[in-house]
Amino acid sequence: MNKANDIAACVRGALETYFRDLDGESPTNVYDMVLKSVERPMLEVILQQAGGNQTLAAEMLGINRNTLRKKITEHQLF
Please report the pLDDT score of residue 45 as a whole number.
Answer: 97
> CA 29, 35, 36, 40: dihedral to nearest 10 degrees?
170
Cα 66 from Cα 55, distance rounded (Å): 9
> What's the predicted TM-score (pTM) here?
0.81
* 56-69: pLDDT as tens digits: 999 999 999 999 99
Domain residue spans in the chain? 3-74
Report the CATH fold assignment for 3-74. Answer: Arc Repressor Mutant, subunit A (1.10.10)
Question: Can you tell me the mean pLDDT for 25-49?
Answer: 95
